[in-house]
Amino acid sequence: MRTDRMAEDFLRRTKARITDAQAALKRGDYPEVVRYSQECVELSLKACLRVIGVEYPRVHDVGDVLEYYRNSFPEWFREGIPEMRQVSRDLSQKRGPSVYGIEMEGKTASELFTKTDAEEALHNSEKIYSLSQRFFSEYYQKPKD
């Protein structure tokens, strides 16, 4: 499969995750917002890596891979990589608890995440999606040598 088609599909699915997260926020389902936001960040960053032809590892947090290939991205994108890495790491650590809670502590997912957590996760995922969408659009509109 061509990397442009795969990246484009990732970004389409990312937009759907944002829509799902927004709906979950409206109904007060904060763990779902965190989960959908994590998926959004993961797919957004993997789309960017696909654009540059990188075969990323099958893990939820690819922030370190993004950093490794930082010189393959334009300067405006590179400036955001530290924040993208941090958001990716943070949300990937919350992925399991957002689905299952913390069983050993007897805490449900709904007890773990607040509206503030959800709003922050959604805001960060929307920002990373926007950067990824911009990178995709600019990369495929530039003239090829």
CATH of the domain at 56: 1.20.120.330
40: tokens are 């959004």
Q: What is the rounded distance in angstroms from the CA atom of residue 93 to the CA atom of residue 38? A: 9
Residue 13 lies in a domain: yes
Output the pTM of the full model: 0.93
pLDDT of amino acid 57: 85
Contact 88, 63 (CB under 8 A): yes
Amino acid at 135: F
User: pLDDT-based confidence at 23, cuts 50/70/90?
Assistant: very high
Residue 132 lies in a domain: yes
How many domains, the chain? 1
